[in-house]
Amino acid sequence: MLYKLISTYELLLELGSTERPVRIEIFQLPDGKRFRARVWVQNTYNLYPTLININEKGDDLHAVHSSDDLNQEITSLILEDPELIRGKEFNSEDEVLRYVEERINSFAKSLQGE
């Protein structure tokens, strides 16, 4: 089945004292009411590439450091609903968005031990 990306949303997820951008992508079958969703969270990774930072003698040069923001797909962690990953019937895009947003907030609460 070929789904079409119909909307992309972003919200801020509060995790303790930090906020992380969360991207929600909603897909729909062009001829029906079946929808899919994918959820991404942005994380910052501090990288220290070892091969670039070592000279031919094996000395650590401490020359190159990198800090990158990467989007990590967390759809299966958030939704816990294989039907929504493969495609599920909803009455509207708004209904899908509200369902996904509810699952994201529930996931955030579980991370905070609530």
The per-residue pLDDT for range 5-61, each reduced to its tens digit, is: 999 999 988 777 788 889 999 999 998 889 999 999 887 776 666 666 677 787 777
Q: What is the dihedral of CA 67, 73, 77, 79, to 10 degrees?
A: 140
Is 8 a member of any domain?
yes
Read off the pTM.
0.75
Write down the pLDDT at residue 86.
81
| 34 assigned to some structural domain | yes
53 lies in some domain: no
**Count of the separate structural domains present in the chain:** 1
Whether residue 35 contacts residue 93, with contact meaning beta carbons closer than 8 Å, is answered with yes
Range of the domain at 93: 4-42+70-111
Residue 114 has pLDDT above 70, yes or no: no
Cβ proximity of 27 and 36 under 8 Å:
yes
pLDDT score recorded for residue 49:
67
Q: Is residue 50 part of a domain?
A: no
User: Is 56 inside any structural domain?
Assistant: no
pLDDT of residue 77: 84
- On whether residue 63 sits in a domain, the answer given is no
